[in-house]
């Protein structure tokens, strides 16, 4: 998996850092991420800076990718973001990528210039749909014309721009999907992310959203085929790039290397440690005030668990997995599990999934977990 030139260029010795900004102007009906409409930006900034201090020993190892997500980072005041970024940049070594997410309604030329001054070189814009009715019914605070104006600003200032789409939103049709494809074919962003809507039974939005049906899956498939037809490289299940403009930070997740998550609900992976921070601001602040890591969940992986996670994440990518690499990293031989899966699925060649396999990845991964449990329980 990481024996490619690109994989080696990520430098395992260096960390990625994810910073979560959990504030939004309003909440989109499909969103499952931790976010808050009410806010105290200064308080959050102060505690996040303290959390950075808790990781000082790890951060001295050096950072080469930064990703600021949310929530809506583009509503976060400049002075607050500047303080956080300056607190992180001092740890960078050979910074390869710095991404920030923005929403069209809160993005501007002034912000573009400010982000540029912070060394941001990659922007991720949440479009979701090119249809105004779909946007309105989903709770988005802009129309397509506004997005186009803001996208033009992004193009002028940043080397790489990602555009997010979601298939399965209220009001979607074959016509709206075709309009989405037309946007991509006309503007050809360096990076595209296409996600299928997820509706959970316990979600508050279940009364407004419907779970994907056959037509939704067909539209999703048509969208993905169109991306391939336009020359996009499907390098991960939901992500497409032109000219190798992969998201280097996200590849740290998929290659199961080390990264630190900072802020409410952020997750991290350090050696065998896997953790997720508290999702409630009060709990996050309380832990940090006691000089503790603000973690809701943390576990030291067994070698078997680390091997499973490396296998699971790597198979999301076009590079797939390297059995020998996993064995060297974890001491676990996964070849028997891989052989069983190869026999069961024609779209899995023993190292990676083809396009059909990526389309049926949910079924594949459920089976992978089942086979893994049977095999290692017997061991």
Q: Name the packing angle between helices 361-378 and 335-344 (round to 10°).
A: 140
pLDDT of amino acid 11: 52
What are 73-103's pLDDT values in tens digits? 999 999 999 999 999 999 998 899 999 999 9
pLDDT in the model for residue 185: 98
| Cα-to-chain-centroid distance, residue 65 | 13
For residue 218, report the phi and psi dihedrals to the nearest 5 degrees: -65, -40
For residue 140, what pLDDT is reported? 83
Q: Residue 283: its pLDDT value, please?
A: 97
Point out the residues of the chain with pLDDT beneath 50.
Answer: 1-5, 8-9, 200, 202-203, 205-207, 379
Q: What is the pLDDT of residue 26?
A: 61
Helices (H) and strands (E) in the chain, counts: 16, 12
The whole-number pLDDT of residue 211 equals 77
> What is the per-residue pLDDT for 375?
86
The answer to whether the CB of 115 falls within 8 A of the CB of 100 is yes
The rounded distance, in Å, linking the Cα atoms of 264 and 294 is: 8
Domain boundaries, the chain: 5-252, 302-379
Peptide bond just before 71 cis, omega within 30 deg: yes
**CATH number 3.20.20.70 is the correct assignment for the domain at 5-252:** yes
């Amino acid at each position: 998996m990481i024996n490619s030139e690109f994989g080696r260029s990520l430098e395992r010795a260096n960390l990625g850092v994810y910073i979560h900004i959990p504030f939004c102007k309003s909440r989109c009906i499909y969103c499952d991420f931790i976010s808050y409409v009410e806010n105290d930006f200064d308080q959050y900034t102060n505690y996040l800076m303290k959390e950075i201090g808790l990781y000082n020993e790890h951060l001295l190892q050096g950072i080469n990718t930064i990703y600021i997500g949310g929530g809506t980072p583009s509503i976060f005041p400049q002075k607050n973001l500047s303080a956080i970024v300056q607190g992180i940049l001092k740890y960078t070594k050979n910074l390869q990528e710095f991404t920030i997410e923005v929403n069209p309604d809160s993005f501007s030329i002034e912000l573009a210039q400010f982000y540029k001054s912070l060394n941001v070189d990659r922007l991720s814009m949440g479009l979701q749909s090119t249809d105004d009715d779909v946007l309105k019914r989903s709770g988005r605070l802009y129309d397509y014309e506004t997005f186009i104006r803001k996208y033009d600003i992004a193009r002028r200032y940043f080397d790489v721009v990602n555009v997010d789409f979601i298939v399965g939103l209220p009001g979607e049709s074959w016509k709206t999907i075709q309009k989405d494809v037309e946007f991509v074919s006309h503007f050809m962003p360096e990076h595209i992310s296409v996600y299928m809507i997820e509706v959970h039974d316990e979600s508050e939005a279940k009364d407004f959203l419907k779970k994907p049906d056959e037509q939704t899956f067909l539209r999703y498939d048509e969208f993905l085929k169109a991306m391939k037809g336009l020359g996009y490289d499907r390098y991960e299940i939901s992500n497409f790039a032109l000219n190798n403009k992969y998201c280097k930070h996200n590849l740290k997740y998929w290659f199961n290397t080390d990264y630190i998550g900072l802020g409410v609900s952020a997750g991290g992976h350090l050696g065998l440690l896997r953790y997720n921070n508290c999702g409630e601001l009060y709990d996050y602040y309380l832990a940090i005030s006691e000089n503790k890591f603000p973690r809701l969940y943390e576990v030291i992986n067994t070698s078997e668990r680390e091997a499973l996670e490396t296998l699971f994440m790597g198979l999301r990518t076009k590079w797939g997995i390297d059995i020998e690499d996993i064995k060297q990293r974890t001491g676990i031989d996964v070849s028997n599990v891989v052989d069983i899966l190869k026999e069961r699925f024609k779209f899995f060649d023993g190292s990676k999934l083809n396009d059909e396999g990526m389309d049926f990845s949910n079924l594949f991964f459920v089976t992978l977990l089942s086979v893994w449990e049977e095999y290692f329980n017997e061991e």
